[in-house]
Amino acid sequence: MQHVRRLLALAVIITLSASAVAQSYPAKPITLVVGFPTGGGADTVARIVTNKMSRVLGQAIVIDNRPGAGTTIGSVLVAHAAPDGYTLLLGSSNLYGSDQILYRNVTYDGAKSFVPISRWSSAPMLLAVNKDFPANTAQELIAFARQSPGKLSYASSGIGVATHLAALSFARAAGISMLHVPFKGGAPALLAVASGDVQLAFGTPPSVLPMAQGGKLRVLAVTSEARSPMFPDIPGMAEIGVKGYDQTFWFGLFGPAGLPTDIAQKLFDASVIALDDPQVQAKLAKSGNEAKPSASLAEFREWAMAEGRKAKESILRHGVTME
């Protein structure tokens, strides 16, 4: 009986200690790991949202760019970090299965290794070509690819990530073949297109738009089925004759497994406040992203895992491997 009382007392102490930690959180700067280089779509979203979140939380949020291996380098770092809320991850659907298929040495399981906190943004991708590419429309690009099978090359921000899967799905839906050239992020991938080393890429709006506005790239289509309200002047996939194709890209906030619920909730609340801010929404919209806060911790977990299953099915359907 005394043993049981001691265990109960210990449990109460642990609970009170955890509550006290959560109440004082954050007591120092937070690190947000981004699995892409600076200047790309993920980095842009991270900096816009965390600029506001840091003011809400009263502590700096430092961006730690860890590009490479399809974002798994950064994901491993967070998966094995202390679950104290000071090391977080900007993640997406690849955490839930496709990473494990493509990268055999991955030491995490999305469902077991991470705590989903909140969705941050959603956007269609943009089909961009080199400014000197002979096709002026997406229809002309498809016709060119059919006439010259295998002559087109496309850049992506890594094997198995959304930009790669968007291109694979496009090629299958359009009945064309293209050579894949993977890079460590959206920015270097699009630089390769701008320089003419690769003909085209599917990129996130923050990566594509500055180079398109600077005359280095031309945008031929968005990856949503219909025209996007974010880009009303750019045709959607149904309009260019690619039926049944609809691809969007999202980013969300994750913590390592074991993150206390009180801390996760505080981060969720700060995310919602940041994403409800009109200035944050305007900055995201300017970069081609829509603010998409989750309804709750539980809603985001269920939604993110469902998105992960779709990404995993896409990897298996297309037979993607480490090339």
Instruction: Tell me which of 226, 246, 266 is where a domain ends.
Output: 246
Instruction: Tell me which of 218, 246, 274 is where a domain ends.
Output: 246
Q: Do 135 and 228 belong to one domain?
A: yes
Q: What is the CATH number of the domain that holds 314?
A: 3.40.190.150
Please report whether residue 323 resides in a domain: no
| Whether the Cβ atoms of residue 201 and residue 189 lie closer than 8 Å to each other | yes
Q: What is the pLDDT of residue 242?
A: 94
Q: Do 283 and 311 belong to one domain?
A: yes
Q: Do 130 and 216 belong to one domain?
A: yes
Q: Do 135 and 82 belong to one domain?
A: no
Instruction: Tell me which of 194, 221, 246 is where a domain ends.
Output: 246
Q: What is the CATH number of the domain that holds 191?
A: 3.40.190.10
Q: Do 259 and 201 belong to one domain?
A: no
pTM summary value: 0.82
Q: What is the pLDDT of residue 105?
A: 82
Count up the domains in the chain and report the number. Answer: 2
pLDDT tens-digit readout, 171-204? 999 999 999 999 988 889 999 999 999 999 999 8
pLDDT tens-digit readout, 57-86? 999 999 999 998 889 999 999 999 999 999
- Rounded CA separation 274/54 (Å): 9
Q: Do 196 and 101 belong to one domain?
A: no
Q: Do 138 and 112 belong to one domain?
A: no
80 C-beta neighbours (distance < 10 Å), count? 13
* H or E segment and range at residue 310: helix 297-318
- Dihedral sign for Cα atoms in the order 75, 79, 82, 85: positive
Q: Do 83 and 13 belong to one domain?
A: yes
Q: What is the pLDDT of residue 22?
A: 62
pLDDT tens-digit readout, 266-300? 999 999 999 999 999 999 999 889 999 999 999 99
Domain, as residue range, for 207: 126-246
